A = this chain, B = another copy of it.
């Protein structure tokens, strides 16, 4: 009777993953409960719990009280994307970061913008800027800032620091939405990015909130060829 040493939760997790991949536990199968596994592995139930909870978070297991733990029938892959500052993104690749403010104005937003931010039609701060990598256009930032939520933004010129960066340091948010899509470059975007009109560009739209108050809405238009990568 060998009692292999499953002494920590990572080891237990590896064994669980192995059994799933090896089809010892098939999709849809009910696996033994925590107490039984703890006994089998010779560790505490809390250790098994930690391992199974982690695997469940990755989508490979479905856990329900009383019903037990099952191998997911159709594992939903979860890709985690780190949304970092554009400056960091560029510097992380060893390139030189550049920033140019294109325009800064107080203006009444189009209905689509004020609707998304759920604010009464009022003047808001509108920024347009260009991010560069090694002096080449990298992305256009088009941002609306809710000055009711972030009044201090009014006294910032944004000519050396991007809205991206200033807000992160000065305007906390509790939650937000993000959307990825493809679009055809507008005339203005094509001019700034130095690409053909209607070129296919990668777009990120983000909307952030501080509790019930909207903070900012930003659209990032990346130069053609940009990819967002991650692992599964």
**When chains A and B are docked, how far (Å) is the Cα of A198 from the Cα of B176?**
32
B231 in contact with A180 (CB, 8 Å)? no
Considering only residues 184-232 of chain A, those with a C-beta below 8 Å from chain B are 184, 198-203, 206, 208, 210, 222, 224-232
Tell whether A174 is near chain B: CB-to-CB under 8 Å. Answer: yes
Which of A73-81, A105-113, A136-144 lines the interface with chain B? A73-81
Which of the residues B78, B168, B198, B199 comes within 8 Å of A75, measured between beta carbons?
B168
Tell whether A1 is near chain B: CB-to-CB under 8 Å. Answer: no
This protein's copies in its complex = 2
Tell whether A88 is near chain B: CB-to-CB under 8 Å. Answer: yes
A202 in contact with B180 (CB, 8 Å)? yes
Which of A59, A83, A85, A174 has the most chain B CB atoms inside 10 A of its CB? Answer: A83
Instruction: With CB as the reference atom, state the residue of chain B lying closest to A221.
Output: B182
Which of the residues B74, B79, B82 comes within 8 Å of A77, measured between beta carbons?
B82
Please report whether the interface of chain A is mostly helix, strand, loop or mixed according to DSSP: strand
Count of chain A residues with a beta carbon within 8 Å of a chain B beta carbon: 53
Given contacts A21-B172, A81-B78, A169-B27, contact A224 B177 (CB under 8 A): no
B-side contacts of A178, CB under 8 Å: 77, 79, 229-232
B-side contacts of A174, CB under 8 Å: 17, 21
B-side contacts of A179, CB under 8 Å: 227-230
Tell whether A161 is near chain B: CB-to-CB under 8 Å. Answer: no
- Chain A residues engaging chain B, CB cutoff 8 angstroms: 17, 20-21, 23, 27, 59, 74-85, 88, 168-169, 172-184, 198-203, 206, 208, 210, 222, 224-232
